[in-house]
Structure 1
């Protein structure tokens, strides 16, 4: 057997019914084998390219999502900033109003003080006519001669006043300081009804009452007018009234308010 026959004897024709297939295999060019091996090596690169594309897609989707969220958050922050600015403006307005109110309050307090000063000056400038004495907004006149209770009252009324009405312990003490060893008529009587003592302004005698002990007693059944008697300034007991006959001629005390004295009355 020669060499050519040995070569053909070693060729495996199993599965190759087509004689052209064996021929193609035997005569296949080296370049074809090279292309086959090249295609097999390029598959990993294709997978990497696809993976990179997918990653780029995911990254792009993530960027888009973050961008949308950023814009939403930015819009919310913008609205919050606007709301904050509005609230700040309102607070500033309230603060300004408080400052204005504080200034108004200071001005009001200053005006109140000025009014009080003026009122004090007015009171200081108020005075009673010559011969009259002042005590807590009223003027008092102690007579220099004696008259009956009715005559004394008429004298006071002619002067725009009336017989004195005593309203407090302080006034009782003040009247005692008009002189020493005095007794004078006051504007208290029970002429209308025995035992029902009234002041000359028509009010009933309730309190205070400064009757001497045992008074009024209506001695001799004709004591219907009240008399003030001086008492020692050192004693605590200032009870000094008693009832006397109204026809008795003694001193008297008139009383009028400062307002009445300024309204044209000649005291």
Structure 2
């Protein structure tokens, strides 16, 4: 302690020691109360001041630690509040999404239910109409014809006598040798037209029926040379033709004194021929469909 600087611990002892050290020649020092007392007081005051300084430093350190703890606590509290606010926002967002999805689901379910009800009503109306039609249909001519066809397996379409059915068409190979124009008029009188051969299946079918004979078919380039057209106004496509070697050659016929502008089927090939030449023809018309007959009969009632 600082107080020990100005006050000897044992003044009398010190004088004896000093006398012994000097061999007793030095005079003994006596304690002077007037001179040493101020130093003692100053030392005590210094000690008290030092104690106060130490307490102040410790107090400042404690206040600093407390302030630091408060700052950390406040920061944690703010972070917690922010986290809670964010969590509440997320909960509110997902709640709104859920409510919207739930509403859309209810709307979709209502629409499906309405569509289902409409379908059921339509089915009921159709069933009722079928029952009414069936009631009107019973004991009528078409009813007995329908029963007959069910028992004997009538075809879905039929052709007139002498005509050959293929797919949805009927074909007639005529015996009369006529010009191309006359053959065209003959087919028209039979509610048909000269045959239109626009696919491999029909071509092969007619080849099998024609054998080695020659027949007029429904194509010509008499309107525009080199542009072959079917009698229904459609163009003869290049990818679906069966021309013979070197055909069409548009040769001049001295017999008929005209160019070869009409189509002829011969030996499984096509040839251009003078339209005035005399050949039989192949006529074509739509097959008669039984269900159309039933429909027309029902409409006429």
TM-score, normalising length: structure 2: 0.44
- Normalising by structure 1, we get a TM-score of 0.49
Question: RCO (CA 8 Å, sep 6+): is it higher in 1 or 2?
Answer: 1
